[in-house]
Structure formats: structure tokens, C-alpha cells
Amino acid sequence: MAKIVWIDGNITPLEEAFVPVTDHAYLYGDGIFEGIRFYNGKVFKLDEHLARLYEGINYLDYHMEYSQEELKKIILETCAASGEKDGYIRVNVTRGTGLGLDPKHINLKPRVMVFVTTISLYPPELYAKGLDVITTSYRVIPSDSLNPRLKCIGRYAANILAKMEANRAGAGEGLMLNQVGNLAECTGDNIFIIKNNEIYTPHPSSGILQGITRDTVIMLAKELGYKVHETTLSKYDMVTADECFLTGTAAEVIAVATLDYRKVGAGPDGKITKEILKAFREHTKIGTPIPYSGDGLLSA
């Protein structure tokens, strides 16, 4: 797949896309992002991703020059320019350019980047086998430091360290608890548990990113007739669950086989996990169509 990037109004091949070293995200992690998938020529949950992005832009008080509708058009046209029907879109917005923490002293023109590529987070066999998850020593950042709803670039240093810890243990994913030791999320995915035919997931106040895949799965599970509880959950709940799975744009829906080397319920053979996965696959057929015919690209 040709990897292309829309940056500062131009589309270029990935190898030719650069940002200045004084970009505030490069210097301080002062940026926000979204990871979005497109399936069969349609962008999945594009409006939901844009709504989350613009909420974060507003919270961070970036002086964004593109409206949500304009950015939507840029994303769709970048996908069209890639010529691909399936892929992954990365959208980054950073505060601006300049040395020094204080936004007063920098050029507050946000840098916007849209990158279209492919992604496969876990190898296909893990979807059949289920993931081995270990509890990492990294807790999610407390919400009074950085609200977890903010998909801010800087916060991911902790998740990367947690992922490396999971890698060292030979696990597919790393669990991150919150400050009081309850379940929060994995390094890039939300957690679902099934017990006695009801579905449980950590409440947003548990310190999680409120995933768009999570919201989708909650909606689909309710449509299938299941009770869904957003609540406080502990590792006890996860180890004793009948089934457990993770959700995320990159991961989609993937069963958990073990937690800390202990088997978790039915793993990938879980009946409800399979049912949710099937409903999710079906739901990915709905999305915003990519205008492949192309009426020319937006200029900045």
C-alpha cells in the first residue's frame, strides 16, 4: 500500500513528510490524535472520531484553523488519494511551533497531519487463540492530572512502557490498573467481561479512554439483548469472568485467553465474544463513503 500523508495542505509520500523540530508535540508531546479505520471504501465512525478530536482540541485550547467539516473532507480526500479500500488513518493535531512550554511564546498555528496506511496490531493467529495479558506495573495517569478522555500524544509514554513490560513477559497485551487498583484498560484497548450472560466494562470514571469501539460494542450488545454494566471492576472480576475481550480501533474485538498466566473463562471460544465479534464485523460495513472519483484536493 502506498503510504501517503496530508500535511500543511499537501499530499506527499510518507518518506517526504517532515515536521520542524520545534513542533510542540515533538518537544513536549503537546498534540492530540485519532486512529480511524476504513473498511471497503467507507470510513468507520468518522463523525464520532472527529467529535472526540474536536472536543480534545477545545479542551487543549488549540487555535484550530479547520472546521470539523473541513477536516472531514481532508481525511476523505486523503483516503481517496491513497486509492485503497481498506486501511488505517492517523490524524494528528499539534498546538504549534516554538521552543518553551509557555504557549504565549510560540506560533500557535496548529500543525495538522493525516496519514493513511495499513495496520495489523496483532498477528491473525492471536485472534483465533486469544491474547495473553499481564498486569503491568504502570497505572493509568490519574484523571486529575490528565483527563483520560483526552487522546493526547504525551500521555502515551506510560502506555509504551507498559507495552514493553508486556513484551518482556511474552504477553500480547498489558493491563493498566487505575490509582486504586481497579481495572482501567490495556495499553491501547478497552476491556469487556462477561459473567452470567451479562456484560461488564469499566466505567469511564475508572480512568479509561472512552473508546469508540467500546461505545460501538455497548450499542451492539444492547441491540443483541444483553444487559451492559459500566461499573467498577477488579482483577478478581477479570480472572473469574466467563469470557473477556478487548476492543479498540486497531485491535477491533479480540478475546483474552489468560490474565497473569491464568486462564480466563472460555477465551476465544466464548459464545458471547463470538456473537459480538460477528455483529461488529457486520457493523463495519456502515461508514462514510470515500469519494474515490475525486474532485481535486482541498488546498490549505
Does residue 212 interact with ligand PLP by CB under 6 A? yes
Smallest gap from residue 51 Cβ to ligand PLP (A): 11
Site map 34..73 versus ligand PLP, x via CB under 6 A: -x--------------------------------------
CA distance 86 to 79: 9
Q: Which is nearer to ligand PLP, 29 or 98 (CB)?
A: 29
Shortest CA distance to 24 belongs to which of 91, 148, 107?
A: 107
Binding mask 120-159 for ligand PLP (x = CB under 6 A): ---------------------------------------x
The mark string for 153-172 relative to ligand PLP (x by CB under 6 A, - otherwise) is ------x-------------
Where b means 16+ CB within 10 Å and e means fewer, 205-221 reads ebbbbebbbbebbbebb
Q: Which residue in 77, 132, 185, 243 binds ligand PLP (CB under 6 A)?
A: 185
The Cα–Cα gap between 163 and 166 comes to 5
State how far the alpha carbon of 256 is from the alpha carbons of 37, 65, 130, 235, 266, in Å.
22, 42, 5, 13, 9
CA distance 28 to 154: 7
Does 220 interact with ligand PLP (rule: CB under 6 A)?
no
DSSP 30-51: -EEEEEEEEETTEETTHHHHHH
- In the complex, what is the shortest distance from the CB of residue 91 to ligand PLP, in angstroms, rounded to a whole number? 12
Q: Which residues bind ligand PLP (CB under 6 A)?
A: 35, 159, 185, 188-190, 209, 211-214, 247-249
